[in-house]
Structure 1
Amino acid sequence: MPNTPPADAPASPASTDPAASFTDATASNHALRAFLHGLPGVDAVGLEARAAALGTRSIKTSAKAYAIDLAISMIDLTTLEGADTPGKVGSLGAKAVHPDPTDRETPRTAAVCVYPDMVATAKEAVAGSGVKVASVATAFPAGRAALGVKLADVRDAVDAGADEVDMVIDRGAFLAGNYLKVYEEIRAVKEASGDARLKVIFETGELSTYDNIRRASWLGMIAGADFIKTSTGKVGVNATPANTLLMLQAVRDFRERTGVQVGVKPAGGIRTSKDAVKFLVLVNETAGEDWLDNRWFRFGASSLLNDLLMQRQKLATGRYSGPDYVTVD
């Protein structure tokens, strides 16, 4: 696996708007439906078997140490609760910058992810570190709001200094087959995001089928997503090896067709180092080494970092410190 670039490295080798390659497909809802439903169907049994097989791969201790550091550097350390306070967000930012205060060689996380009203607090907490500030927007997590309200939400986050915007798609419109509405909304959010990178959340647990996840992946990428993201973490089914594998296949195939690279962010339910390493194997074996850095792959998580830190110390010292070794989020 390659060395991890800093979180403030250039975002993309390509600045091409992918929509330019799909003008015919996005000319109408009928055309977009024809394109999306013309994508190859997903072999659910084969997909799940492939994900399960990759999850059994074993790695050597030296590779495990590298994978743990890589996973830490890919975390969007997240707090998205109604009880969030400036103090909590400030503490989370400090943890993102120095995850293990006793070991300054520990990699910083990729970003801190908060609600728009906490962006300024998060920016102050990570100032000068290279850690990005991401903000959910567009009436997260349900997305049930008028477009004007969603765009105002995005602009509030960007005006406060957000480096990245995590939006949710209108799942109701998508499931009703109104793909053009979803496409146009993503385009509008992309424009409102300005220079901030855009992560498009599908809420895969509500899309019901793997075919729908593949269609949503292509729809998001055509509309200009910088990342495609599995879920909000607020529903029963979030990131799984199978749905993440499917999205990794989609970004790989999209780059082959357009030359544009798009990142992937599984979010929700990834809590242990063992799980994180399994996802990194998925990345390496599916999309390839180009995605093995925090410009192109992220974990949406909070408790995952604690387990990674404990496993990191165990590898370094031979002792397992337990949960008191890490801060409580």
Structure 2
Amino acid sequence: MDTTTSPTQGLLPQVTHARNPGMALDLDWVAAVQANTSAIERRAATLPGRRSVKKEFQAAWLLKAISLIDLTTLSGDDTAGRVQRLCAKARQPVAPWMLERLGMTGLTTGAVCVYHEMVETAVRALEGTSIPVAAVSTGFPAGLSPYKLRIMEIGESVRAGAKEIDIVISRRHVLTQNWQALYDEMAEMRAACGDAHVKAILATGELGTLRNVARASLICMMAGADFIKTSTGKEGVNATLPVSLTMIRAIRDYEARTGFKVGYKPAGGIAKAKDALVYLSLMKDELGHPWLQPDLFRFGASSLLGDIERQLEHHLTGHYSAANRHAMG
């Protein structure tokens, strides 16, 4: 891919680091990548018990988590009204009285994520804010539509106003070890996004092994991905801690080798506030403070926000409210 473009071009408002320009495919590096599954699983099993934050410290971490959510609706029955309500929730994710008591102002979610058909609706609903619209693309979720149409779909979403594009890779390239094909596909999709940032969805639940996850992560970063993302949320297995540990260590290795930071997005199955806290502690431990900001970390979620609201209300009042008092739209 062409890496002559300045890496700082096309930055989103919240991005403060140089954009990953990609690099030439290095198959020797790819072949050297391994994943010790038993060690990764042992480490992941310890994570929920290793960090415990309580009271005002937990509230602060949960407010941080809200700022990292890609508030998402990806249903066949999505309507303009539903998306508009979701965008209103993104603008005001927590009841004003709670934010006032917590001393927090200006809190929004990290982005709103929708199908292409709803991009223009979301863009209009978010006018006057810095909240970007993310569009799932390239034949989401299976990625099996004609290749030319997948590339065209990216362009249509960018023209409609999407600032982030969540693309799905062709899983068969990973399963058949066709790394050149995966690299070329990712590089062309990155180029089609232009200034819009691209999140590469690996659909890790369909890749077979953690070694495949590690190698696919590395190749997508070599081809210029701004983020790597676990799942579409439609697979049988979505975000898990072993997969997350594998992917974020690939991100760490890539930065060590190239100097460029790549973001991470776990998606699918993260519905509880306690899960968000585990992921935040994992990012802090493995990658450090920069990966606790929305330019480098997002949750792909919808119901997560509702549970975080319930936990914040409990912190303030001592009582849990009914989940239906915190609807997403």
Query: TM-score, normalising length from structure 1?
Result: 0.91
Change (3 A) 1:224 1:308: same
Query: Partner of 1:11 in structure 2?
Result: 15
Which amino acid is the alignment partner of residue 304 of structure 1?
L
**Distance in 2 of aligned mates of 1:9 and 1:161:** 15
The answer (yes or no) to whether the contact 2:138–2:150 under 8 Å persists in 1 is yes
Structure 1 residue 302 corresponds to structure 2 residue 302: yes
Distance 1:328 1:222, change over 3 A: closer
1:1-329, aligned counterparts within 5 Å?
9-15=13-19, 17-19=21-23, 22=24, 25=26, 32=27, 34-39=28-33, 41-56=34-49, 57-103=51-97, 105=104, 107-329=107-329
Question: 1:186-218 deviations in whole A, cap 9, x for unaligned?
Answer: 111111111111000000000010100100110
Q: Is the 8 A contact 1:217 1:228 kept in 2?
A: yes
Question: Which segments of 5 or more consecutive residues in structure 1 lack a partner in the other structure?
Answer: 1-6, 26-31
Q: Distance in 2 between matches of 1:77 and 1:13?
A: 23
Deviations 1:281-323 (A, max 9, x none): 1101111111011111100000001001111111122221121
State the percentage of identical aligned residues. 44
Partner SS state of residue 181, structure 1:
helix
Tell me: CA distance 1:139–1:16, structure 2 relative to 1, closer, same or farther (3 Å): closer
- SS of the residue corresponding to residue 271 of structure 1 reads coil
Mean Cα displacement is larger for which, 210-219 or 44-53? 44-53
8 Å CA contact retained: 1:136, 1:167: yes
Q: In structure 2, how many angstroms separate the alpha carbons of the residues matched to 1:126 and 1:238?
A: 29
- Structure 2 length-normalised TM: 0.91
Cα 1:38–1:244 shift into 2, 3 Å? same
**Distance between the aligned counterparts of 1:166 and 1:328, measured in 2?**
21
Post-superposition offset of 1:228: 0.2
- For residues 129 and 325 of structure 1, what CA distance do their matches in structure 2 show? 25
Q: What displacement does 1:12 show?
A: 4.5
Does the CA contact (< 8 Å) of 1:218 and 1:250 recur in 2?
A: yes
Residue 5 of structure 2 corresponds to which residue in structure 1?
none
1:35 and 1:266 map into 2 onto residues whose CA distance is 25
Aligned residue pairs total: 312
Change (3 A) 1:189 1:178: same
Deviation at 1:55, TM superposition (A): 1.4
Per-residue deviation, residues 7-35 of structure 1 (Å, max 9, x unmatched): 9644252246231xx35x2xxxxxx3x43
SS in 1 for 2:60: helix
The superposition leaves residues 92-135 of structure 1 with CA deviations (integer Å, 9 ceiling, x where unpaired) of 11111111244454721000000111100001111112111000
Which letter does structure 1 place at the counterpart of 2:177? G
CA pair 289-90 structure 1, distance change in 2 beyond 3 A: same
Structure 2: gaps of 5 or more residues: 1-10
Whether contact under 8 Å (2:83, 2:122) holds in the other structure is yes
Paired residue type of 1:44: T
Tell me, what secondary structure is at the counterpart of 2:139? coil
Alpha-carbon contact 2:175-2:208 (below 8 Å) kept: no
CA displacement at 1:146 relative to structure 2: 2.4
- Asked if structure 1 preserves the Cα contact closer than 8 Å seen for 2:71 and 2:109, the reply is yes
Residue type of the alignment partner of 1:225: A
